Structure 1
Amino acid sequence: MIPRLVILLFAACLLSCGQQQANAQSKLAPQDFERHLKTTAEVQLVDVRTPAEYADGHLAGARNIDYYDDHFTSLIGQLDKDKPVMVYCAKGGRSASAAEKFHNAGFKDVLDLDGGIIAWKEAGMPVVKD
């Protein structure tokens, strides 16, 4: 009985460590995010900040889907689950939660901008206003 319990605990530990590693790999530094954005075909770039934040400046080609919108889950459901999603917010908190929601909704390839648009700007990367 005890050896089985030890094996089960060990297996649970391995599975949780693997999940943490997978989540850590989905965050990209601004330079890597930009490189992936330029080299990935049919990427869906999503800004999960509020419309006011989006209007103040966003990444070129980004679609605004407000994380705080009551219909956020149904709105992301309108995107193509077979195409990669790249997501960002101001600092990285909302986008990390949004990336998890994308994964839970069945999206396989989801990348998150580490540090958000603030880190993007600090790295000297461009933003646009509509």
Structure 2
Amino acid sequence: MSIFSFIFGCQIQNSNIKVLEPAEFKNQISNHSVQLIDVRTADEYKSGHINNAKNIDFLSSSFVYKINKLNKKKPVYVYCKSGNRSNKASKQLAELGFTEIYDLKGGFLNWRE
């Protein structure tokens, strides 16, 4: 959280983050070799996930370490169960220097294969 948002209690939308509807998200990940990250827990991931998604648990102490192994210059697509954790993860990715971040609106609950 930036000092501005802390003092004024508002969230500033990061222009590097785009929230995509499921159809657009699916279209973009199917047409490219992308960095697709499932930020749910390992158990949630095992119960079902989007094909080719890499599981990097946002709640894990190793999240930042594992995320930093990704290519910051390539687009990153993230999702969680409902969109809450992926929203927080997207903000953290932006803070870490990722420039093109796509978040699945409504998360895996909103996904239709």
Structure with bigger helix share is 1
Q: Which TM-score bucket, shorter chain as reference? A: 0.7 to 0.9
Alpha-carbon RMSD across the aligned residues, in angstroms, is: 1.9
Q: Secondary structure of the equivalent of 1:20?
A: coil
One-letter code aligned to 1:84: P
1:63 is matched with 54
Pick the structure with greater CA Rg: 1
Question: How many residue pairs align between the two structures?
Answer: 104
Q: Which runs of 4+ in 1 moved over 2 A?
A: 19-23
One-letter code aligned to 1:32: E
Work out which of the residue numbers 13, 23, 29 in structure 2 matches 1:20.
13
2:24 is matched with 32
Q: Secondary structure of the equivalent of 1:49?
A: coil
TM-score after normalising by structure 1:
0.74
TM-score after normalising by structure 2:
0.85
Q: Secondary structure of the equivalent of 1:79?
A: coil
Q: Secondary structure of the equivalent of 1:96?
A: helix
Shift of 1:74: 1.0
Structure 2 unmatched runs, 5+ = 1-9
One-letter code aligned to 2:79: Y
User: Is contact 1:45–1:61 with CA below 8 Å preserved after alignment?
Assistant: yes
Q: Secondary structure of the equivalent of 1:115?
A: coil
Identity in percent: 39
Q: Secondary structure of the equivalent of 1:54?
A: helix
Distance 1:26 1:94 in 2: 15
User: Is contact 1:43–1:85 with CA below 8 Å preserved after alignment?
Assistant: yes
Shift of 1:83: 1.1
One-letter code aligned to 1:43: V
Shift of 1:36: 1.1
